[in-house]
Amino acid sequence: MNYVLRFYRDWVKQDDLTTFEVKLRETDLQVRAHSDLRVEALQEVKRVRRDIEVYAETHPGFLHALSSWEDDPSAPEVVREMLRSTALYGVGPMAAVAGAVAEAVGRKLLEKSPEVIVENGGDIFLRMDRPVKLLLYSGEESPFNRRLVLRVDAPGECRGACTSSARVGPSLSFGETDAVLTVAANAALADAAATGMGNRILRAEDVSGVLEEEKSRGLLRGAVVTVGRTFGAFGEVQLEEW
C-alpha cells in the first residue's frame, strides 16, 4: 500500500461534519468541520508554509537538522512552535512540522467552526465537543494493527494526536517501534514527542521505561507504543472496539 495515497482516510467514519481535503505541494490535509472551509484552510496553509520556507532559506541547516535548535524570538510563530516543541525531545525542528501545520490550520478554522479535526499525514489537531476514536495503524505485520482504538475524550479542549513509526510511512526514526502515538495539548508537541520517544525505543524491553519517563515528565496527556507483540500505554487514552 502507498502511504502517500493516504489510504487510511478511507477508514474515517462519516458523521454530521463536513469533510474536505486541502493540498499544496508536500502538504496534504484532510479537514473535518461544521462547513466547507477549504478556502480559509488553503489560505492558512499558504501562510504557514511561506513562514517556514522563508525561515529555512535564511537559516541553513534548518530543514535537515537532526538535533534541536535554540528558540528564536525573531522567528514566525509556527517556526517558534516547532523549535520549542522539538527542543523538549532533542530532535530536529522538522520533526514537528506536520503537527505544527495541522495546529495552525485547525486553530484558524476554529474562528468559523466550533469543532475541527485536521489530519496531516497521520498527525492530527482536533477540538471536539464529543469523544473522538482514533484507529492505530501499526503496519500489516503488527499483531495490533487496526485492532487498537484510542478514544480521546476532551470536550472543548484542543488536542494533538501524532504517530511515528520505524516501519510505516515516511517518518525518520532511529528506534524499532511499529507505532508511537502521542496525545498532547498541541499537535507540534505531540509530533516532536512521537519522534523523540520512538528514537529511544530500540527494543521491546525499552517500552515500559520510556513510557514511565514520559509519564513523570508531565508533558503529554497520554501515549501508546507497540513493538512486535509488546504494547504499552498511559494517560488520557481509552481503548475500545472500532
What's the chain's average pLDDT?
Answer: 89
Please tell me the least confidently modeled range out of 48-57, 99-108, 109-118, 218-227.
218-227
Q: 6 pLDDT exceeds 80?
A: no
CA distance 43 to 47: 6
**pLDDT digits over 89-130, tens only?**
999 999 999 999 999 999 999 999 999 999 998 899 999 999
Q: What angle, rounded to 10 degrees, do the helices at 77-87 and 97-109 form? A: 130
* Coil/strand/helix, residue 68: coil
Yes or no: is domain 3-240 CATH 3.40.50.720? no
**pLDDT digits over 132-166, tens only?**
888 877 666 765 666 777 888 899 999 999 998 86
Provide the β-strand partners of residue 180: 164, 225
* Coil/strand/helix, residue 201: coil
Domain boundaries of the chain, sorted by first residue: 3-240
For position 1, what pLDDT does the model report? Answer: 31
Contact 82, 97 (CB under 8 A): yes
* Coil/strand/helix, residue 156: coil
Q: Grid coordinates standing for 74?
A: 525573531
- In sequence order, the 6+-apart residues with CB closer than 8 A to the CB of 183 are 150, 152, 159, 160, 161, 190, 220, 221, 222, 223, 235, 236, 237
For position 184, what pLDDT does the model report? Answer: 96
Encoded amino acid at 197, one letter = M
Encoded amino acid at 241, one letter = E
CA distance 164 to 158: 20
**pLDDT digits over 166-216, tens only?**
666 666 666 678 889 999 999 999 999 999 999 999 999 999 999 999 999
Confidence of residue 74 (pLDDT cuts 50, 70, 90): very high
Contact 82, 96 (CB under 8 A): yes
For position 169, what pLDDT does the model report? Answer: 64
